[in-house]
A and B are shown apart, each in its own frame.
Chain A
Amino acid sequence: MRAAPALAEQDSGPALSAPAAPVPPAASGKRRGRSVDDGVPRWQIYAPLGLYLLFTLIPFYWMLLFALRPAGSTSLVPWPVTGEHFAKVWNERAFGTFFQNSMIVGVASLVMTTVVALAGGYALARFDFRVKKGFMLALLASQFIPGALMLVPLFEIFKNLQMINSLGSVIIAETVFQLPLSIILISGFIKNVPVSLEEQAWVDGCGRLRAFCAVVLPLLRPGLIAVGSFAFVHSWNHFLFALMFLSSQDKQTIPVGLNTLIGADSVDLGALAAGGVIAAVPVVIVFAFIQKWLITGFSAGAVKG
């Protein structure tokens, strides 16, 4: 692909005089048109893509519109902008507290999931051991077990552990249900790192742990980013565990807060929209940061795993 325009310029460059200057780009465009996955008229890409973008973006815009325009306004443009809804939700509806709780849950599950999955994934990728097949099977089977159906027994367990109404219960529950997929993904990534690299480090006198940290870990970066952000986004978004295990308002998370706004007798749409924006901001940031890795992460880890 890269060679094509350069070649075109070389061919035509010296021979042509100034008036014909537009020719090289046109020629390179033609070459591009003939390349592998192209050959599609532009409008056939932009028209359906434009339609789909409308479907994707109008809902986001709608939320921003309600969050930013004054209460009672019916304007389709959020102007003049007001912060009243945000102030109300953040202070009166305790979204400041919810935000903090959600952050704690999100970051703690991210760390726990990644560390535990790294250990398990390494064992699966680098060792043969007796319960390996059974362990793999358990990981796959647990994909079919819905967290929603485990609510009652989990509630009993956390009650016995005296962890009801503490963020720890939600952190553990989120981590546990995120673990199986994370282990499968990470072991796939580790398999892609040649063992010989590690062996080289052992020969150089490194212990297993040091060799792992120095050689394997840096190469796992895209994979770890994918797994870690899944864990964060998942526990930031997840709703049922927090709804069930956390009873007092100062412990609740953003999705539970949103649900309270949704279920209020007379729904305050401006406040609801502002709450939605607050819920969306962290995941949008994480998403913007990882979306390039997402595709490579999946093709390297999940498919070969």
Chain B
Amino acid sequence: MADAVAKRTGATPRRLPYLLIAPAGLLMLGFIAYPMLSVLYYSLQNYNVTKPWRNGYAGFENFTRIFTDDPQFWDALAFSGKWVVTEVLLQLLLGVALALLVNQTFIGRGIARALVFSPWAVSGVLTTTIWMLLYNPSTGISRYLADAGIGMYGTSVLSDTGTVFWAAVLAELWRGVPFFAILILADLQSIPGDLYEAASVDGAGRARQFFHITLPHLKDAIVLSTLLRGVWEFNNVDLLYTLTGGGPAGQTTTLPLYVANTGINGHDFGYASALTTVAFVILLFCSILYLRLSKFGGDTK
């Protein structure tokens, strides 16, 4: 079919495809590529609006500082890794389970799907709003639990360094699981039913059917959705910015949050740009490694 299309284009102005991609191309050049390049440029500069007398070419000074003289960078990087792995893993497990559940035929399936998928459309700030109401020590869930004799009064899970991680993980899970569930469900529906029929004729139980038919079929969708979600969880700062502000004591500061703090509150654009460059390279490296290791698109057995 591609050949037919190619031949067809002979009859149309050669410039048409270029005209069609021009708006998208120009917008992306102006507002993604150019900022990207300017980040690269600033990463080699001392650029701080509050200390203009120091501004100028800095060479690799910013980068040396990141790797040798910035424990906060390593803390933020470690937390980013922990956050992304925990979130993606839990969201995937729950998402697959949920998709398998609502892929069954049962009464009330339509409404059940709509309800369990609904947090998908909820924003990071709204998630924070909702979970702050839940976590609030004086009127939140914990108070009612304490009334019923479970736990203690006045516990604030968001200011306790021991619980803040899991409190944030739970809130993010709440809105993150539907993403996986929707994608996996879409892919589940493309598995031909007669595969299962043949398998059950051959006496394969449900567990074996899952591991030998469902899982191999889902593999590409799982690899792609975990990658997209991993990048998204790494980059997205809305929830943590508003829920914990990176605290308490910098405990929940991801790398992008650290960058944003450095660039916006600290006005140190040069250093923030160098951090951005490093974050981007790490992200790209991890993504390529992940695609390689998971043999995306290859034969599955």
Contact = CB atoms under 8 A, between A and B. Distances in A.
Contacts of A58: 134
B39 interface: yes
B226 interface: no
A150 B32 contact: yes
Given A138-B33, A150-B36, 12 more contacts: A36-B193, A37-B196, A49-B102, A60-B130, A63-B129, A76-B144, A123-B16, A143-B231, A152-B263, A176-B28, A244-B264, A291-B118
A interface SS class: helix
Given A152-B273, A244-B264, A259 B125 contact: yes
B31 A145 contact: no
Given A148-B236, A237-B124, A172 B4 contact: no
Interface string B29-44: 0111111101100100
Interface string A259-276: 101100001010011011
A244 B265 CA distance: 12
A90 interface: no
A123 B20 contact: yes
Interface string A202-224: 00000010000000000000000
Contact of B122 (A144, A273, A280): A280
Interface residues of B, number: 101
Interface in B228-274: 228, 231, 234-238, 241-242, 256, 259-260, 263-264, 269, 272-273
Interface of A: 1, 32, 35-40, 42, 45-46, 48-49, 52-53, 55-60, 62-63, 66, 74, 76, 116-117, 119-120, 122-124, 126-129, 131-132, 135, 138, 142-154, 156-157, 172-173, 175-177, 179-180, 183, 195, 199, 208, 233, 236-240, 244, 255, 258-259, 261-262, 267, 269, 272-273, 275-276, 279-280, 283-284, 286-288, 291-292, 294-296, 298-299, 302-303
A149 B115 contact: no
Contacts of B117: 287, 291, 294
Interface stretch (B65-73, B105-113, B149-157, B160-168): B105-113
B interface SS class: helix
A93 to B, nearest CB: 13
A287 B186 CA distance: 16
Contact of A45 (B101, B221, B280): B101
Given A146-B256, A149-B276, A258-B125, A179 B238 contact: no
Contacts of A154: 31, 35
11 contacts: A53-B116, A66-B139, A120-B21, A123-B16, A145-B36, A148-B236, A151-B264, A175-B27, A259-B125, A280-B126, A288-B114
Contacts of B141: 62
Contacts of B287: 144
Interface in B117-138: 117-126, 128-134, 136
A129 B237 contact: no
Contact of B27 (A116, A295, A302): A116
Contact of B130 (A48, A59, A152, A294): A59
Contacts of B276: 149
Contacts of A52: 94, 98, 101, 116
B86 interface: no
